[in-house]
Amino acid sequence: MSLLEVNKLNIGFQGGDGLMNVVTDLSFDIEEGKAVALVGESGCGKSVTALSIMRLLICPPAHMEAESILFEGKDIQQIPERHMWKLRGNDISMIFQEPMTSLNPVTTIGKQLTETIRQHTGCSKKEALAKAEDMLREVGIPEPKQRLREYPHQMSGGMRQRVMIAMALSCDPKLLIADEPTTALDVTIQDQILELIADACRRRKMALLLITHNMGIVAEAADEVMVMYAGQIVEKASVQEIFDTPMHPYTNGMLRAIPGTAHTGEEFYVIRGRVPSPLFFSKACRFAPRCDHACERCHKEAPQLQDIGGGHYIRCWNPIKGGNANE
Ligand SMILES: Nc1ncnc2c1ncn2[C@@H]1O[C@H](COP(=O)(O)OP(=O)(O)OP(=O)(O)O)[C@@H](O)[C@H]1O
Ligand code: SF4
Ligand SMILES: [Mg+2]
């Protein structure tokens, strides 16, 4: 049984012209202890997908429906809110892009951490304090005792993100959702934070859904990659398959766009055009206006996600043969 199984998730927003569909028929699953990356350009629907799994999407204006969203076999759509509150934190934790939006600026790090720990574990103040100190140590924060007395603004962005990771890990969740956890940080810190998240997940045998627009960071952190474009998964495979034989022109373009990689041998590649607004999603292939491989059929008929074997799925009429990222 998968830890998380999302079946036919559709998300839309109510606007003046009716319901604007932003995520279409999304299905995927995450096995216990596995790290899965959800990759795609800005606006493709990554965050709303994560929020809908946590049931944090505000409906309305959002409208969400799914055949099922099973966590350990239970459909989270059917779970009463008071139980959902327990599930968030105890079983599923989330780290957001900007730690300042999740940390309370007028409360010390220690108070915020111990309150979270106590709410979810019911332990004593003293035990929570000891655990908070251990957690800061685990995420590489020096002098944790002293740091617990500090306020968020007294810390650097990297340190604050470490605190958020400590908070997310403190209740030993089974699934960690990290939504662009490194984009607000200095490039030199990004790798350290990513490594910290990936290591913590491996050590604790915790599953990870890593959301990012940066294909460059998934190789070290994920077992499996889902490439999302305009609200749909266009390619899904093991990290090795995706990097060795990317078959969808969009995946291919994303890999070529990783600056200075040995993979491409090129300086820099930019996928022409932009992600369309959901108001203008094509009824045929949504990537067709930007695709160098498009044929007549691509502009007329929508390709479906096909299982091509070995856990590799692709949504394309003209997959790139041999998956050569330099094509
Ligand atoms: N509250 C909202 N009201 C209307 N539209 C929204 C709302 N939130 C998100 N959207 C739209 O839903 C689509 C998906 O948004 P989402 O935030 O999931 O993108 P994303 O892939 O996470 O992008 P980014 O990489 O920039 O974080 C976008 O077109 C966005 O404009
Ligand atoms: S279906 Fe056609 S347009 Fe769409 S990605 Fe494949 S080749 Fe390109
Ligand atoms: Mg987002």
Ligand 2 center to 302 CA (angstroms): 9
Counting ligands in written order, which one lies closest to the CA of residue 96? 3
What is the C-alpha separation between 131 and 3, in angstroms, rounded?
Answer: 26
Q: Which pLDDT belongs to residue 213?
A: 87
How is the chain split into domains, by residue range?
251-327
Please give the average per-residue pLDDT across 143-150, as a whole number: 92
Query: What's the pLDDT tens digit per position in 219-266?
Result: 888 999 999 999 999 999 999 999 999 999 999 999 988 876 545 555
Nearest atom of ligand 2 to the alpha carbon of 250: 5
Nearest atom of ligand 2 to the alpha carbon of 317: 1
* Three-state DSSP class for residue 34: coil
Helices (H), the chain: 46-54, 81-90, 99-102, 109-121, 125-138, 144-147, 157-169, 187-204, 218-221, 239-244, 249-256
> In the predicted model, is pLDDT for residue 267 greater than 70?
no
What is the C-alpha separation between 251 and 230, in angstroms, rounded?
Answer: 13
Q: Burial, 79: exposed, middle or buried (Cβ in 10 Å; 0-12, 13-18, 19+)?
A: middle
Ligand 3 center to 187 CA (angstroms): 19
Q: Burial, 122: exposed, middle or buried (Cβ in 10 Å; 0-12, 13-18, 19+)?
A: exposed
Whole-number average pLDDT of the chain: 89
What is the C-alpha separation between 131 and 33, in angstroms, rounded?
Answer: 23
The least confident of 63-72, 94-103, 207-216, 297-306 is 94-103
Please give the average per-residue pLDDT across 52-80, as a whole number: 92
Q: Record the pTM.
A: 0.91
Q: Angle at the Cα of 221 (from 215 to 224), degrees rounded to 5?
A: 75
Ligand 3 center to 130 CA (angstroms): 34
Structure tokens at 178: 């990290």
Please give the average per-residue pLDDT across 274-288, as a whole number: 91
pLDDT band (50, 70, 90) for residue 181 = confident
pLDDT band (50, 70, 90) for residue 326 = very low
Q: Cβ contacts of residue 213 below 8 Å, gap of 6+?
A: 39, 40, 41, 42, 46, 180, 183
Q: Which pLDDT belongs to residue 327?
A: 45
Query: What's the pLDDT tens digit per position in 90-121?
Result: 899 998 877 667 788 899 999 999 998 898 88
Does the beta carbon of 230 lie inside 6 Å of ligand 2? no
Counting ligands in written order, which one lies closest to the CA of residue 294? 2
